[in-house]
Structure 1
């Protein structure tokens, strides 16, 4: 024999306040037969202006998040080394390729040191005036030579700087070889020639270039004091002091 279904709680409460017939009618019309109205979880954007603005802001934020997530991440240092991004290809390790760069660098050094033969230019430099300038200068394109080093095999190596890293100078030699010269415990020498002067020729009245009868200025820098990246070194302040290592 099937058990009778338990009485609904709402119907039992209605019977306490009303007669059984009235309670049954109210329960049937107000509870069992009451329509269930469904609406979307978000308001219709076309219903009013406020809902439309909220909907537009929501769509805009979703679009921004989507565009941000699709942005590629920068390569890590390990990935850059694996892809050889900063390595110079073998076919570009030619001394003749970087000779114009060296000429540009010489003009750059003459400009920052204010050297020249024209009026208002200097023909000599001293440590107090040239020291701070040389410390913050860019050496990409400089023709450097190792004159002293704790490692005897490095002495005499000479080439044009193609990469100035934190701890090394990468140079291309006249034999079209790429050499890495550590800065630590090494002294580098480079020269800055004076500018050329144009003078009128003889009978032909032409203009010829001749180098001013002055020897180029020769500088020596201690690599241990240049163990910083080139962009960081340009904004850094150095103090003159004696280096006891060399």
Structure 2
């Protein structure tokens, strides 16, 4: 009886590698070197593939949407504070160190110069640095009434001459805040007073010269608007039954 031949090392070895990279390496290196390079550089190295164009349209739409949102937020103006946020932050609240009548005297002097320009007694300073020229116009209700009605009263020194609340008659101070319905003033006694405009008559003066002053009276019912709204508003005569 004949015995079959034992398998040799050649017959028990793994089948040859048929990878194209191994074939190319075998042409340039020895079998051991090409096998080692193939194992280290090709077989165990991950192959990173990028998605082809148009394969992920959802991600593309999301990217475009985020870019548009970023551009919109960058170009959008900041949202103004609401009335509640202003109260919480204390935007218009005066500190105790700021409630000084002497602090606002300079503001009143600036306001007096502003009123002289509004009434036409002086001209605005020229760009070349020349001093403003002085004039002597005639102030009448027909010619200057609209200018006085649209003027800004921040810095004016108002005095209450008539009011529905008799306790407020005689209060005098410099305006530090002009709201739609009130004047907030700082009195010579370093006190803050809120004066309602409705049913109230205010008096103020404009110093034209050292001994010449113009005295005006403001009817609060005619001024129940914010300063920014009064600038371009056409005023109409109203019934003043409260006098």
Question: What corresponds to 2:86 in structure 1?
Answer: 80
Maintained 8 Å contact 2:150/2:233? yes
> Are positions 1:97 and 2:103 aligned together?
yes
Between the aligned partners of 2:93 and 2:117, the Cα distance in structure 1 is: 30
The range that moved more, 150-159 or 54-63, is: 54-63
Question: What corresponds to 1:240 in structure 2?
Answer: 237
Question: What corresponds to 2:112 in structure 1?
Answer: 106
> Are positions 1:229 and 2:216 aligned together?
no
Between the aligned partners of 2:232 and 2:58, the Cα distance in structure 1 is: 49
- Structure 1: 5+ residue runs without aligned partners? 1-43, 196-210
Between the aligned partners of 1:120 and 1:54, the Cα distance in structure 2 is: 72
Between the aligned partners of 2:225 and 2:141, the Cα distance in structure 1 is: 21
1:81 to 1:241, Cα distance in 2 relative to 1, 3 A = closer
Shift of 1:142: 0.2
Structure 2 counterpart SS, 1:112: helix
> Are positions 1:62 and 2:66 aligned together?
yes
Structure 1 counterpart SS, 2:217: strand
Between the aligned partners of 1:220 and 1:141, the Cα distance in structure 2 is: 16
Shift of 1:57: 6.9
Between the aligned partners of 2:148 and 2:197, the Cα distance in structure 1 is: 16
- Structure 2: 5+ residue runs without aligned partners? 1-48, 123-131
1:77 to 1:241, Cα distance in 2 relative to 1, 3 A = closer
Shift of 1:130: 1.4
Structure 1 counterpart SS, 2:109: helix
Maintained 8 Å contact 2:121/2:134? no
1:103 to 1:120, Cα distance in 2 relative to 1, 3 A = closer
**Number of residue pairs matched by the alignment:** 185
Structure 1 counterpart SS, 2:204: strand
Which of residues 154, 174, 179 is equivalent to 1:160?
174
Shift of 1:74: 4.9
Between the aligned partners of 1:107 and 1:74, the Cα distance in structure 2 is: 32
1:143 to 1:74, Cα distance in 2 relative to 1, 3 A = closer
CA RMSD of aligned residues (A): 3.2
1:163 to 1:120, Cα distance in 2 relative to 1, 3 A = closer
Based on CA coordinates, which of the two structures has the bigger radius of gyration? 2
1:130 to 1:242, Cα distance in 2 relative to 1, 3 A = farther
Maintained 8 Å contact 2:160/2:201? yes
Shift of 1:162: 0.2
Between the aligned partners of 1:106 and 1:74, the Cα distance in structure 2 is: 31
Maintained 8 Å contact 1:167/1:228? yes
